[in-house]
Chain A
Amino acid sequence: MSLRLEGVSYRYAGSTATVLSEVDLVVERGEVVGLVGANEAGKTTLCLVAAGLAPATIGGRLQGTVHIDDLATAAARPFELAQRCGTLFQNPATQLSGTAPTVWEEIAFGPRNLALPLAEVVARVDEAVRLLAIGDLVRRDPARLSGGQAQLIALAGVLALQPAYLILDEPTSQLDPQGTRLVGDALAALAAHSNAGVLIVEHKTDLLAGLASRVAVIEAGRLVAAGPAADTLADERLPGWGVQPPSAVRLGRAAAAAGVSLG
């Protein structure tokens, strides 16, 4: 049981450019995999393909196979995919439904769409709230939250579908330092207490260093490196691939080059 991309190549609808080439990637339940790369290297596309949103919702041409556990995404319908793999995007504002007067109802949006019995809807909302420790936000108006809070609610909304896998595309890039910390802490708690398999795209390699067990690097649509987080984030080729290594790695390298030690 895992999220598997095998030999995946992808072209957007109406485009001749191949954005992903021959990508092989596996995300196991319970592990956090980081994905880094320069802008336009294909990180977002890989997220959409892994979640099945491409091609199910946005079309395009997919070669190779993507399986979320036993479901092949090529033939699946969006609501089937949503229950197995949740996706969180960069912009908090566009992810909230805009029709819920309270955070509680916003989180209930997904389970309600699935026409689950009311008791089940309530249980799922309560569980998502507990996992992310946002009990003090349930009565609030979703439109009046800070960026970091809104992103947490969006995450709760996705978790309420109880997916086995979670894909996060630069979840903190639009947030201020406080929001980044809020979401970062919530993700750490999630990683520790749930068995979801997580794929997270981030420029903030410092954040990934604390969160991911494995890291993959994408360049021009191909995975050029993958391995344990500590090793990959210390790979000397990272800057050449347009990725800034974590602060600790940079400082360590600068110290070594100057012949001093950070003791």
Chain B
Amino acid sequence: MADAIAPSSGLALATEGLGFVYPDGTRALEGVDLRIAAGEQVALIGQNGSGKSTLVRHFDGLLRATTGRVLVGGEPVGQRHVADLAHLVGIVFQNPDRQIFAGRVRAEVAFGPRNLGMQGGELDERVTAALQAVGLAGSEGVNPYDLGYSRRKLLGMASVLAMATPAVVLDEPTTGQDARGVARVREIVARLAAAGRTVVTISHDMTFVAEVFPRLVVMRAGRVILDGPPAEVFAEANWPTLATTYLDPPLAAREGTRLGLGATPSEASLIAALRARRAT
């Protein structure tokens, strides 16, 4: 279990003046400048259509910039094939049923690493480690569709973890998950962070991102409108900006402001602030 997520040097991801227009003319991204350092954990938040999914698809080459540049590991992506970039950036998509095709859990997880050229003993180890990391170690021979939706989502995650990419993108990892599933996702993110990997998540769950990610990037209509730690993004000063895109700060932030404690986006920070006040 200790090696379930092996240490890595992470990967820097960046965009410079990134603009993207879909073939039908929709402008999905406008002048996005974003710098993610190697080993950083960032959450992208915003309504559907704000450009979050479009943005992350540039990191592994699924989409090519219309204007501006995308840099992976400091190098411009250019026209590198997706199959190449898949060694560096792994994306876990929201709907596991849009990728599951194998008859057995193990074969499903092995697909990604095998495409990357892993074989034999190394491949087996990676698959086993990934299954352990998501809690599916006992289900190797099971048909994926005999697992419930929650566990199929975790299977999707294992499929990408097994590829051991220095950067991992999670698209809505907690949507449709129950409490145990959410707890497992938090654990996986923590382990990825501890292993030094770059983690980018897209999420609608304000509490989840406030409690787990040290940096939040808020998007609206293809642009970045806020970028900073949760305490800053959910601070009262930014509530009007958040309101323009119909986002509500988590309860902890609202309670903290109500009680005059300053910015307390997470449960832990709110409790700490209350204790500090009581001590004075």
Contact = CB atoms under 8 A, between A and B. Distances in A.
Note whether A and B contact each other (Cβ less than 8 A).
yes
A258 interface: yes
Nearest to B181: A39
25 contacts: A37-B178, A39-B181, A40-B149, A146-B48, A146-B49, A147-B48, A170-B176, A173-B175, A174-B175, A178-B47, A179-B48, A203-B178, A242-B178, A242-B179, A244-B179, A247-B207, A251-B255, A251-B267, A255-B270, A260-B271, A261-B274, A262-B255, A262-B259, A262-B274, A263-B259
Contacts of B255: 251, 262
A243 interface: yes
Interface in B168-210: 175-182, 204, 206-207
A243 B179 contact: yes
B212 interface: no
A39 B207 CA distance: 20
Contacts of B98: none
Contact of A251 (B179, B182, B270, B275): B270
A181 B206 CA distance: 14
Interface stretch (B81-89, B133-141, B244-252): B244-252
Nearest to B268: A254
Nearest to B259: A263
A244 B251 CA distance: 14
A244 B205 CA distance: 13
A177 B204 contact: yes
Given A173-B176, A177-B204, A258 B271 contact: yes
Given A38-B179, A173-B175, A244-B182, A260 B274 contact: yes
A248 interface: yes
B204 A176 contact: yes
A255 B278 CA distance: 12
Contacts of A173: 175-176
B148 A40 contact: yes
B8 interface: no
B163 to A, nearest CB: 26
A38 B178 contact: yes
Nearest to B182: A244
B150 interface: yes
Contacts of B248: 177, 181
Nearest to B245: A178
Contacts of A206: 251
B274 A247 contact: no
Contacts, number: 84
A153 B48 CA distance: 18
A246 B251 CA distance: 10
A147 B48 CA distance: 9
A48 B70 CA distance: 48
Interface of B: 47-49, 148-150, 175-182, 204, 206-207, 245-248, 250-252, 255, 259, 267, 270-271, 274-275, 278
Contact of A242 (B149, B176, B180, B274): B180
Contacts of A254: 267, 270-271
A251 B252 contact: yes
B180 A260 contact: no
The 7 A-B residue pairs with the shortest CB-CB distance in the complex, in nearest-first order: A247-B251, A40-B148, A260-B274, A244-B179, A39-B150, A178-B246, A176-B48
A173 B204 CA distance: 10
Nearest to B272: A258
Contacts of B271: 254-255, 258, 260
Contacts of B245: 178
Contacts of A170: 176
A59 interface: no
B78 to A, nearest CB: 33
Contacts of B148: 39-40
B178 A260 contact: no
A189 B188 CA distance: 40
Contacts of A146: 48-49
A203 B255 CA distance: 22
Interface string A29-44: 0000000011110000
B153 to A, nearest CB: 9
A244 B247 CA distance: 21
